[in-house]
Amino acid sequence: MALPPNVYDAEPIPEAAKAEIERLLKTGDLFRYTAPENSPVALLEKEFAEMMGSKYALAVASCSAALFLSLKALGLPRGAKVLIPAFTFAAVPSSVVHADCVPVLVEVADNYRIDMADFEAKLTDEISAVMISHMRGHTSDMDAIMKLAEARGIPVIEDAAHSLGTEWGGRKIGTIGKIGCFSFQSYKLLNSGEGGIMITDDPDVIARAVIMSGAYEHNWKKHPALSDRFEHWQNKLPLYNTRLSNMSAAIVRPQLAEVPRRVRDGRRNHDHVAAQLNQTPWIRVPAPLGPEQRAPDSIQFNLVDFTDEEVLSYAEAAKARGVAVQVFGLTKDNARAYWNWQFLGDTPELPQTRGMLQRACDARLPARLTPEDCDVIAQALIAAAEDVKGEARAYGT
């Protein structure tokens, strides 16, 4: 049988980046505000905003920095409560804490999407903002979320770190809430090692975020004009200095043209593997919601009728077959298991989310894999279930 493919390596950076990187190396022009205009970071912001159909974009050091600045740009007071899903990456509650706010965790169902009954119950007058994390690109019911939040005048921030290219009812994820945030960390669709970007149509939000990201003195003049908004906020806000460097922007810009291919191939790979996994009684890949078109580079699935011990044996069996599987809620110290966010103090008990996390498996499936690579992975994932549960039922009943 063919060996399982390497799923960790990123794609090469397009050749087109080389000339600009060479120029940056020669000139040392790495700071976004050195050149009078059209720095690589400024060009990336312009191109990204155009690609998304948003008015404004601000590139920063990470998606976490973008989430933090989003909360700060909304002007939330110290101690403000922010609703977030309990299934997300630890960086999300961390960005809330960093902004001096308090995260309130909402239950997530076994299809990895927000439990709307719990969301509605927790969206009280005490909540100042909602941060929707489209975890691994799984999209919660954005129509229902926007309707409930808008009825109360509560702003919605989309954590689309890992969801670039996903659509909801034909709209681009990250453009539905007031602010959308994306990551350029190497495991995401666009890779500059580190980096992030936020988009919005709100001139006050972007003016505040630009200044706080570190556009000190009159560096805001190197951003597209915003009538008097920059002058208005000048000197009134702290400078958190979490900018993106020109080198990172030069590495991301030529990848923008690759987005449609990466989205298409990632979806093909995911759906190809999902169809095979759903053939066994031991594995369920939850269906997407109706309006959702995902752009996955990994696959999540639930083990059915497995005990905790069997789930751990499954991860071992998959590993022995050359495919790494993480179980969000059973892999030690997993940063996506809410009870490991001890920096929050006492986390609430969320039985639905906990139950899901203890059966939900995560395997990487990058867009650059071929369908044949994906077959090898799918077969290993299925065979590992049979290793644990025995072949009889898989092929029998």
Ligand X SMILES: *Cc1c(COP(=O)(O)O)cnc(C)c1O
Contacts with ligand X, residue ranges (CB under 6 A):
62-64, 88-89, 91-92, 133, 135, 159, 161-162, 183, 185, 196
Nearer to ligand X, 64 or 128 (CB): 64
CA 392 to chain centre: 39
Q: Residue 182: which of 95, 293, 66, 72 has the closest Cα?
A: 66
Determine the straight-line distance between the first and last CA of the chain, rounded to whole angstroms.
Answer: 27
Nearer to ligand X, 194 or 386 (CB): 194
Nearer to ligand X, 181 or 388 (CB): 181
Nearer to ligand X, 88 or 111 (CB): 88
| Alpha-carbon distances, residue 388 vs 170, 261, 307, 327, 331 (angstroms) | 41, 37, 11, 15, 17
Q: For residue 276, what is the enclosing H or E element? A: helix 259-277
Distance of closest approach, residue 79 Cβ to ligand X, in angstroms:
23
CA angle 92, 324, 297 (to 5 degrees): 55
Dihedral angle computed from the Cα positions of residues 347, 337, 60 and 169, in that order, rounded to the nearest 10 degrees = -100
Distance of closest approach, residue 276 Cβ to ligand X, in angstroms:
25
Distance of closest approach, residue 336 Cβ to ligand X, in angstroms:
9
Nearer to ligand X, 173 or 384 (CB): 173
| Rg of the chain taking only CA atoms, in angstroms | 22
CA dihedral sign, ordered 364, 367, 369, 372: positive
Nearer to ligand X, 179 or 376 (CB): 179
Distance of closest approach, residue 62 Cβ to ligand X, in angstroms:
3
Distance of closest approach, residue 376 Cβ to ligand X, in angstroms:
26
Distance of closest approach, residue 64 Cβ to ligand X, in angstroms:
3
